[in-house]
Amino acid sequence: MKHIALVIAASSLLLLSACITPPAKPDYTKFFDHQPRSILVVPPANKTTAVDAPAVFLTTVSAAFAERGYYVFPVFLVQAILTDLGATDEGAIATVPPDKFKEVFGTDSILYVTITDWTTSYIVLASNIIVGAEYRLVDAASGDLLWTHKERVVHDSGGGGGGGGLIGALVVAAVKAAITATTVQYRPIAIQANEFAANRSGYGLPAGPYHPEFQKDREHYK
């Protein structure tokens, strides 16, 4: 009976894994047609209830894409100029035509980011911190969509041990969760999300012109 149960469990796992399909690979045709050298990151849109998420996330984007071999315009300079132009929120930024960014900044492309997750989920003896974002890279001259990607990072902040059995563990976990909610830094997890987004082979960005792998990794992005 035990053997039969194990076989059924294994079969269920195989069936479940067979039902999980990997995400479709992006079409990089437009990307290689335009081959951007520079990226302008606009202040991110926010679909979460965390009002501080856009400001924190904005500080984490540049490094990952610059290390991928692209010139990334200084995000706070961009934000200051957009504010001077009256584009102070995501609604106003969304109405700015791509070629206006090219006219003002001289950029090849614009990276639009929407924050989709910025939460801490609580489990009985632990908590998970979740950061998710959607990325759209648009050609500044034509408005063509060059690349899209979704990223979601779940960070296990750990559970609570300690004496007192289950009750003691629950108390410790509750205290840790309360501390986590007020002091944990989402920034390192946002950095990780951006690094994954930029570097995932076949899904992220091909190496840019300032990267040693420039034009050598195209076979991964077909």
Strands 109-123 and 126-139: antiparallel
Positive or negative, the CA dihedral 206, 57, 127, 159 is positive
Of residues 119, 108, 6, 4, the one with CA closest to residue 52: 119
pTM of this structure: 0.81
**What pLDDT band is residue 185 in, cutting at 50, 70 and 90?**
confident
**What pLDDT band is residue 222 in, cutting at 50, 70 and 90?**
confident
Query: Out of 97-101, 117-121, 129-133, 177-181, which region has the weakest mean confidence (pLDDT)?
Result: 177-181
List the domains of the chain with CATH numbers.
23-158+186-211 (3.40.50.10610)
* Per-residue pLDDT tens digits for 120-146: 877 655 678 999 999 999 999 999 999
Length of the chain: 222
| pLDDT value of residue 183 | 38
